[in-house]
Amino acid sequence: MYTLNWQPPYDWQWMFGFLGARAVTGVETVTDEYYERSFTCDGHQGLFRVTPVEALCTLQVTLSDGLIPVADICLARIERLFDLTCDPQQIATTLGELGAARPGLRLPGAMDAYEQGVRAILGQLVSVSMAAKLAARVVALCGEPLKDFPEYTCFPTPAALAAADPLALKALGMPVKRAESLIHLAQSVVDGTFPLQPPEDIERGMKALQARPGIGRWTANYLALRGWQAKDVFLPDDYLIKQRFAGMTPAQIRNYAQRWQPWRSYALLHIWYTENWTPSVDSEVAGIQQ
């Protein structure tokens, strides 16, 4: 067993709820007490489980035998998935009143930027639950059963998804263009041209993503938010954000959000999960709206 640490406060109930709503059947299991999933890395595959011990501010991590050779990589990815290096006090200072109600909110990352890219594309114009169902269907079609754990399947490797028939993917319930964009994404990972690590310039990296088939601005921003766990991303085109900032254009929303730099990703989460939140009407906003 391995142990990772975090700085309190940490809202584990919210985090497990967020991941549970998006859990892919066959890959992930989320309960009130733990998060468990299959994982493949550098030719090794296995199962891991994480269990928070809130009284000690630690995360207990159990890896199956297949992941022991890549334990360091797994622990680093888990640390990123659960945003364990976050300094909540630093973020609270910047967010002020916006973050006061949920000081333990963290930025859910991803175990793999490629996987998160696939899931972001599948989530285009569908509900959270439908996106998870589509991902489960893709896993069932292209994934490999996890040895020694027959109830689990590994998320499809880039090579497996790149070799998929777009019509077979379309039959799972998605437009053929979306199926083709999944295959293109997977092929670019195989070719080594997809940025699996956060680029030095996140803004430029997001614009580059939009040049890829099937990746618009929202998808690129969401991929950066979770796949790269970029800390300073805001989604002014997001449906719920536009509702929260009623009457404001995306450019005005973007200007308003500058007050939360360099932690706009956390501000985004707080606005998403704070019902009836509205922007303050102050001189700065008035100037923006003129």
Active site residue 238: yes
Which pLDDT score, from 0 to 100, does residue 237 have?
Answer: 87
Structure tokens at 276: 């009836």
Task: Report CA-CA distances (Å) from 192 to 53, 114, 188, 195, 220.
Answer: 38, 11, 6, 8, 18
Q: What is the widest separation between alpha-carbon atoms in the chain?
A: 63
Could you state, in chain order, the average pLDDT of each consecutive group of 10 residues for the chain (290 residues)? 97 98 98 97 95 98 98 98 97 96 96 97 94 98 95 97 98 96 97 95 95 93 96 93 94 95 97 92 48
Where do the domains of the chain lie, and which CATH numbers do they carry?
2-99 (3.30.310.20), 113-227 (1.10.340.30), 239-289 (1.10.1670.10)
Rounded Cα gap, residues 58 and 62, in angstroms = 13
Query: Treating both helix axes as pointing N-terminal to C-terminal, what angle do 12-21 and 128-142 enclose, rounded to 10 degrees?
Result: 60
Which pLDDT score, from 0 to 100, does residue 289 have?
Answer: 43
10 Å Cβ neighbour count for 117? 30
Residue range 27-46, pLDDT digits in tens: 999 999 999 999 999 999 99
pTM, entire model: 0.93
Residue range 124-166, pLDDT digits in tens: 989 999 999 999 999 999 999 999 999 999 999 999 999 999 9
Rounded Cα gap, residues 144 and 230, in angstroms = 30
Which pLDDT score, from 0 to 100, does residue 282 have?
Answer: 61
Structure tokens at 246: 């009623």
Provide DSSP, 52-105: EEGGGTEEEEEE-GGGGGGHHHHHHHHHHHTTTT--HHHHHHHHGGGGTS-TT-
Of the residues 42, 232, 238, 282, only one is catalytic, namely 238
Query: Treating both helix axes as pointing N-terminal to C-terminal, what angle do 176-191 and 113-122 enclose, rounded to 10 degrees?
Result: 170
- Residue 89, φ and ψ in degrees, nearest 5: -70, -40
Average pLDDT along the chain: 94
Q: Is 140 helix (H, G, I), strand (E, B) or coil?
A: helix
10 Å Cβ neighbour count for 72? 9
Which pLDDT score, from 0 to 100, does residue 273 have?
Answer: 93
